[in-house]
Structure 1
Amino acid sequence: MPTIKVFNMAGQVTGEVELSEAVFGVTPNTQAIHESVKNHLANVRQGTQSALTRAEVSGGGGKPYRQKGTGRARQGSTRAVQWTHGGVAFAPKPRDYSYTINKKLKRLALKSALSQKAIDNAIVVVDNIDMDSIKTQDFAKFLSAVGVTGKALVVTPEVRETIVKSARNLPGIQTTIATILNVYDVMNAKTFVVDKAALQTIEEVYA
């Protein structure tokens, strides 16, 4: 596997690290990535959509006009689906869209996503992503110093409040921890920015 540079938060090179072949060196499986992203998006759907059928809409109990002799199309109710204020055909109701996928498939998808980032040279390893205080401006300077432009996923070994709060007001920047990575977040980011300790955790957990 390729050896990539390790930066500090000032953007200076402090060393090198070799990426794990087992996690960052697999042949990307686009079908697995697709299935995992589809699963993630289904699982985060609220599913609260709701509309009324013709049986549930108020009114419309009487026939609007006689069956024959008017020259108009026959109608039995003013709440049929073709009428204004009528019900909805096949009206959607609240439902749970979530479903599970095979663990093996999910793991393959994540390895494929991480390997694709390695192929694209879109991985930035940082010695220690941490800050003494919550300051969005300083965090933006850090991202600029390590060459991040556009969307980025910043991964730390554990939740670091100063990082989470400093990053949350920056558009396109998302933070997460190494043990709960998901394929959607990895693929949605242009750059994968990872703390060196978090990288080690990723390689241990997902290898």
Structure 2
Amino acid sequence: MKVAVKDYKGKDTGRKAELSDDVFKIEPNEHAIYLDVKQYLAHQRQGTHKSKERAEIVGSTRKIKKQKGTGTARAGSIKSPIFKGGGRIFGPRPKDYTQKLNKNVKRLARRSALSLKSKENGIVVLEDFTFEQPRTKDFIEVLKALGLENKKSLFVLGDINNNVYLSSRNLAGSEVITNSELSTYKILNANSVVFLEGALEAIESNLKK
């Protein structure tokens, strides 16, 4: 499939980018998308949650009252979970939430997400550009020119470009990444995915493997 290449001012350059049908025009596999998004969200969890259990509470170990004759239940330690300040029963412990997913499934999921975005006309190809210095106003002008000012957008660069990245960092609705950071979740979370020409070849070669 062919997509018109625009410049950063939103004007048509007169050129067209050839997008591989094997990446941008396949039958989407919804289950692969589900698995990849599920893994991505799971990996955002730190898993550092922890509460102190009975054995970890610092407190006196003396028996707080006699065993019999009080008319109430026996109690051996102030650290018991039934008392205020005692340990927590079955409290959360540190846990690793990472999930394993086959590379081929991840590639299929990304191709499926790109194909869905392509069907929605959410793929934009932009010629490579940069800024002389980081400036949020300059990036906002690019968004206005592309009609993405009030929409979620994902810009995919071929290489690291600090001036473009820093210019977008304060904008909640836009994200700038390199081709190696592209994920199924980020593709689906954006209304439009803007590829710079320098990123296309690397993405297609990686997803065709």
Q: Secondary structure at the match of 1:116?
A: helix
Cα distance in 2 between the residues matched to 1:129 and 1:83:
64
Cα distance in 1 between the residues matched to 2:166 and 2:118:
28
TM-score (norm 1): 0.89
Q: Judging changes above 3 Å, is the alpha-carbon distance between structure 1 residues 109 and 68 closer, same or farther for their aligned structure 2 residues?
A: same
Cα distance in 2 between the residues matched to 1:117 and 1:48:
35
Aligned residues: 206
Alignment-derived partner of residue 87 in structure 2? 87
Between 1:68-77 and 1:23-32, the stretch displaced more is: 68-77
Between 1:87-96 and 1:28-37, the stretch displaced more is: 87-96
Deviation at 1:170, TM superposition (A): 1.1
Cα distance in 1 between the residues matched to 2:86 and 2:145:
59
Alignment-derived partner of residue 37 in structure 2? 37
Gaps of 5+ in 2: none
Q: Judging changes above 3 Å, is the alpha-carbon distance between structure 1 residues 119 and 60 closer, same or farther for their aligned structure 2 residues?
A: farther
Between 1:93-102 and 1:7-16, the stretch displaced more is: 93-102
Q: Secondary structure at the match of 1:174?
A: strand
**1:35-184 maps to which residues of 2 (within 5 A)?**
35-59=35-59, 61-148=61-148, 149-184=150-185
Deviation at 1:20, TM superposition (A): 1.5
TM-score (norm 2): 0.88
Stretches (4+) displaced over 6 A: none
Deviation at 1:203, TM superposition (A): 1.7
Gaps of 5+ in 1: none
AA aligned opposite 2:6? F
Cα distance in 1 between the residues matched to 2:161 and 2:36:
27
Cα distance in 1 between the residues matched to 2:64 and 2:29:
59
Q: Secondary structure at the match of 1:81?
A: coil
Cα distance in 1 between the residues matched to 2:65 and 2:191:
62
AA aligned opposite 2:156? V
Deviation at 1:71, TM superposition (A): 4.1
Q: Judging changes above 3 Å, is the alpha-carbon distance between structure 1 residues 119 and 66 closer, same or farther for their aligned structure 2 residues?
A: farther
**1:17-36 maps to which residues of 2 (within 5 A)?**
17-36=17-36
Deviation at 1:88, TM superposition (A): 1.6
Q: Judging changes above 3 Å, is the alpha-carbon distance between structure 1 residues 118 and 88 closer, same or farther for their aligned structure 2 residues?
A: same
Cα distance in 2 between the residues matched to 1:29 and 1:80:
52
Cα distance in 1 between the residues matched to 2:93 and 2:69:
39
Cα distance in 1 between the residues matched to 2:134 and 2:189:
25
Identity of aligned residues (%): 39
Q: Judging changes above 3 Å, is the alpha-carbon distance between structure 1 residues 129 and 88 closer, same or farther for their aligned structure 2 residues?
A: farther
AA aligned opposite 2:140? A
